Structure 1
Amino acid sequence: MISFLISIFVLIVGYFLISKFCEGIFGVNPNRATPAIAQQDGVDFVPLPVWKIFLIQFLNIAGLGPIFGAVAGAMWGPVAFLWIVLGTLLAGGVHDYFSGMLSIRHKGESITEICGYYLGDNVKHFMRLFSVVLLIMVGTVFIMGPAKILVDIADGFGGTMFWVAIIFIYYVLSTILPIDKLIGKIYPVFGVALLFMAFGILAMMFVNKIQVPEVNFNTLRNFHNQPDSFPIFPFVFVTIACGAISGFHATQSPLMARCMTNEKQGRPVFFGAMVTEGIVALIWAAIGMSFYGGPSDLNAVMTAQKGNAAFVVNEISHSLLGSLGGILALLGVVAAPITSGDTAFRSARIIIADIFKQRQDLLKNRFLISIPLFAIAILLMQLDFGIVWRYFAWTNQTLATIVLWTITIYLYKNKKKYIIALVPASFMTAVITSYLLIAPEGFSLSPAIGCLAGVAVAVLGLIWFYLSARKQKSSNSSYV
């Protein structure tokens, strides 16, 4: 339990120190008009109070990742604590803060367009397609997951497809309507449910005196039941994504960049929401690896359930919080993915609108873009959930890596401390390359070959960066 509590403490202290450092590097200007003020349209560019922006950002990014991903990541043991803490502070927080602030400075534009400014048109075109595909996948996987949980809560009432239809109708409305009409009103309620779930579990861990494994030399090993096939590197760094670093976050930050009224709000909104999500991931990783007696016991349960983390979440919630508490907790688990799925489709609409320069204050334009997105999602729902989720995980971290390289180039060109982004960009390059080569859904190569290749590609990335950055240094900066 001591290691777990220290991890939470480090996250909280790290927020105040590292987020302030990032703010200083970026150079916020509280007197500069934000997109919410300068481009107000009553649909996407809408000024909102900072507490509401924080809750929306937190719920946008806190999908199933910091819950299901953290439980799955706990199969590797206490090493998950280290990745959640270090990943959140040194990678995820940096990624989320700078991607959000760059959107503010670039008139609320999507991350696809921002990548194009700093990495060139070819990357911009690739990112447009890549991001829209990712967002549709997010929206799709965040339909079936909560629908199945709602069937359990309702004791089978309606069946899965009934709840899928209900969620789908909500997604359509949240994608089309102005952000303050639906999302802005219900997110505070969802936020309470999600926070109750996390901190309710935390409180009951103390009440029941649950023993959480400590981080030490003996426990920093691979507890996975197939350690040779699933080494810590790179699998932990892809499995635990939203609780450490996630490219999906960069697609969500522009939504809030269009609602903020002061650049100083970026620190609590972007970095603060990431740290809050990290704390939620820590809680679920801790209870995941301790509820059944230890990481090895969790592996046995997950294997028996064919990797279904929803079973573990359901059992933990009901066991620790009772029937009523369990239902409220599970509603929090439902709220998390739904409030990521809705804004995934909304973000996809905005990216496509930015590409084709379509005004979004016109309802017909919003419908014309949204209908094909939902049609594709319906087709994807016919695929196996596990397959879609695995490809989403790698795609998600690849997007985060590209965004980190974008931030690095931006900082270098503007003579700012670029090392803060260069280090996580290089590390994540090694992670996504190794995972693609080793994973069963990738090339299934041996871990030794995959890891060596990942490091080699990361080194090539560093060489490319210095050659590219020096070439661009003499050009006019895209900073605005």
Structure 2
Amino acid sequence: MLWFLTCLAALIGGYFIYGTFVEKVFGIRSERQTPAFTKNDGVDYVPMSTPKVYLVQLLNIAGVGPIFGPIMGALYGPAAMLWIVIGCIFAGAVHDYFSGMLSIRNDGASVPTMTGRYLGNGAKHFMNIFAIVLLLLVGVVFVSAPAGMITNLINDQTSLTVSMTSMVVLIFGYYILATIVPVDKIIGRFYPLFGALLIFMSVGLITAVALSDQHTVLGGFTPSDMFSNLNPNDMPLWPALFITIACGAISGFHATQSPLMARCMQNERNGRFVFYGAMIGEGIIALIWCALALSFFGSLESLSEAINNGGPGNVVYSASFGLLGVFGGVLAFLGVVILPITSGDTAFRSSRLILAEYFNMEQKTLRNRLLMALPLFVVGGVLTQVDFGIIWRYFGFANQATAVMMLWTASAYLLRHNKLHWITTVPALFMTTVCVSFILNSSTLGFGLPMTLSTSAGILFAVLAATYVIKTSKGKGETDLADEEKPSGISKTA
């Protein structure tokens, strides 16, 4: 229990201490008008209150990743929680802050446009393709996962029998609607309530463990276990843990989501709460589910068996109903199901906006929104027929590779403005090494090379990337796009 509370305190402290430092390095300008006002179109650029924007941002970024990832990562033991804390404070929250604030400074631009501006057109074209692929994978993952969970819930807890296919069709129908209607009609109206439910149920589950006579939070683990690899399947910690636990530590998917709320935020001074703070919130959710997985089943062997018998969704189901009974279990389970649904629709929405930027097509008219969205759903529907495990593996790597590109983009921005770039360059170096080492070593996704060789190549590639970014960006002083193209105004207070 002490280890969990220490990790929790570190995350909260990180928001106030390191988050404030990052904000100062970036240099907010509260007098500047945000894109929510300068480009208000009533569809995607719509001013919303700060609490609402925060809760929507939290739901947008928190799919099944901060639950499924930490559950899988829990197989490594309590050491997984250390990665959640360090990764969230120094990498993930920084990544999310810059992906949101740079979008604001660039008129609400999506991540490929930002990457192109600070890393060049080659990087822009690469990110246009890569971001669309990632978002389609996310959309498919966040259709299949909730569809399976809802199907199991209905079939197990009621006399009804539903098929997985019917749930997929139903969720896709909702995604189409949520992708094309104005952001404040569904997402802005209902998602804050779902966000509050998510927080309430996550806290409720860990409280139930703490008060239970049958379970103890992290019971049975010794202090030395907190820094050891305890995986019962003898899986190496490096670099797999840093790919397995993405959401909750650092996730490139968030770089595609932050611009959605950057188009709705009323003042730059709210950025730390909305972007850095939402990532800290996701880190807390990931911490809770990692602790639940480590505490509910009594041993790592039992946790591994539960995962083998139904994946991380089975862990969620067992813990929810085992700790809170039928009524509480249904609520907790639905709270988890909401996560991927509320991220899947915004994944497709982000895809629509990225394509619209690429083709320079305005999105105020319904016809144009449908032209961009419908082909994405056709491709997504085809991908749902691919095995979920395969999609998830590719999603994990694509996710972290996108984070790498966003971190290097942020470093280039800071270098051009003569600011402390190491706050993004250090995590960029680390995550570049992780991604290159993983893809070179992996026998299922990559080249199956020995770990020593893969890691050495990863370090070399990271150093070369840093050298390139620093050499091409340092001393290249410039002003922000908003300064170049429009006069500053007074933003309304959220």
TM-score (norm 2): 0.93
Match of 2:208 in 1: 204
Match of 2:57 in 1: 57
One-letter amino acid of the counterpart of residue 268, structure 1: F
SS in structure 1 of the partner of residue 298 of structure 2: coil
Deviation for aligned residue 1:272: 0.6
Q: Deviations over 1:48-94 (max 9, x none)?
A: 11111011100000000000111001011111111000000000010
Deviation for aligned residue 1:45: 0.4
Q: Deviations over 1:273-331 (max 9, x none)?
A: 000000000000011112111334322332344xx110111001100011011111111
Match of 1:388 in 2: 391
Does residue 283 (structure 1) correspond to residue 288 (structure 2)? The answer is yes
Q: Deviations over 1:316-367 (max 9, x none)?
A: 1100011011111111111000000000000000001111111111110000
- Alpha-carbon distance change, 376 to 415 in structure 1, aligned in 2, over 3 angstroms: same
Cα distance in structure 2, aligned partners of 1:33 and 1:272: 22
- Alpha-carbon distance change, 63 to 215 in structure 1, aligned in 2, over 3 angstroms: farther
My pick for the range that moved more, 205-214 or 138-147, is 205-214
Deviation for aligned residue 1:464: 2.3
Match of 1:86 in 2: 86
Match of 1:40 in 2: 40
Q: How does 1:167-186 map to 2 (within 5 A)?
A: 167-186=171-190
CA contact (8 A) 2:417 2:477 kept: no
Match of 1:463 in 2: 467
Deviation for aligned residue 1:205: 1.4
Match of 2:489 in 1: none
My pick for the range that moved more, 371-380 or 437-446, is 437-446
Aligned with residue 233 of structure 1, among 235, 238, 250? 238
Deviation for aligned residue 1:459: 2.2
Aligned with residue 231 of structure 2, among 218, 224, 236? 224
Match of 1:250 in 2: 255
Q: How does 1:427-446 map to 2 (within 5 A)?
A: 427-439=430-442, 440-446=444-450
Cα distance in structure 2, aligned partners of 1:445 and 1:292: 35
Deviation for aligned residue 1:219: 4.1
CA contact (8 A) 2:417 2:478 kept: no
CA contact (8 A) 2:78 2:225 kept: no
One-letter amino acid of the counterpart of residue 198, structure 1: S
CA contact (8 A) 1:412 1:418 kept: yes
Cα distance in structure 2, aligned partners of 1:141 and 1:241: 14
Deviation for aligned residue 1:479: 5.2
Cα distance in structure 2, aligned partners of 1:379 and 1:141: 12
Aligned length: 474
Cα distance in structure 1, aligned partners of 2:481 and 2:146: 41
Q: Deviations over 1:92-113 (max 9, x none)?
A: 0100001100000100010110
Match of 1:330 in 2: 333
Does residue 299 (structure 1) correspond to residue 325 (structure 2)? The answer is no
Q: Deviations over 1:424-464 (max 9, x none)?
A: 00000000011101222222223222222222222222322
Match of 2:361 in 1: 358
Match of 1:106 in 2: 106
CA contact (8 A) 2:143 2:172 kept: yes
My pick for the range that moved more, 290-299 or 162-171, is 290-299
One-letter amino acid of the counterpart of residue 465, structure 1: V
CA contact (8 A) 2:36 2:265 kept: yes
CA contact (8 A) 1:118 1:478 kept: no
Deviation for aligned residue 1:466: 3.0
Deviation for aligned residue 1:18: 1.2
Unpaired segments of 5 or more residues in structure 1? none
Does residue 2 (structure 1) correspond to residue 2 (structure 2)? The answer is yes
One-letter amino acid of the counterpart of residue 196, structure 2: V
Cα distance in structure 1, aligned partners of 2:434 and 2:222: 23
Q: Deviations over 1:113-162 (max 9, x none)?
A: 00000000000001001001110111111111101111122225331111
Cα distance in structure 2, aligned partners of 1:21 and 1:479: 24
CA contact (8 A) 1:193 1:331 kept: no
Match of 2:457 in 1: 453
CA contact (8 A) 1:56 1:184 kept: yes
- Alpha-carbon distance change, 160 to 298 in structure 1, aligned in 2, over 3 angstroms: same
One-letter amino acid of the counterpart of residue 401, structure 1: V
SS in structure 2 of the partner of residue 31 of structure 1: coil
CA contact (8 A) 2:106 2:480 kept: no
One-letter amino acid of the counterpart of residue 29, structure 2: N
Cα distance in structure 2, aligned partners of 1:365 and 1:128: 19
My pick for the range that moved more, 205-214 or 320-329, is 205-214
Does residue 271 (structure 1) correspond to residue 298 (structure 2)? The answer is no
CA contact (8 A) 1:193 1:335 kept: no
One-letter amino acid of the counterpart of residue 289, structure 1: L
CA contact (8 A) 1:79 1:215 kept: no
One-letter amino acid of the counterpart of residue 232, structure 2: N
Match of 1:424 in 2: 427
Q: Deviations over 1:387-412 (max 9, x none)?
A: 00100000000000010001011101
Deviation for aligned residue 1:220: 2.0
Deviation for aligned residue 1:29: 0.9
Match of 2:120 in 1: 120
CA contact (8 A) 1:75 1:298 kept: yes
Cα distance in structure 2, aligned partners of 1:316 and 1:57: 26
Cα distance in structure 2, aligned partners of 1:42 and 1:75: 46
- Alpha-carbon distance change, 364 to 409 in structure 1, aligned in 2, over 3 angstroms: same
Cα distance in structure 2, aligned partners of 1:215 and 1:438: 31
CA contact (8 A) 1:117 1:478 kept: no
CA contact (8 A) 1:224 1:299 kept: no
Unpaired segments of 5 or more residues in structure 2? 483-494
Match of 2:490 in 1: none
One-letter amino acid of the counterpart of residue 75, structure 2: M
My pick for the range that moved more, 369-378 or 433-442, is 433-442
Cα distance in structure 1, aligned partners of 2:441 and 2:222: 27
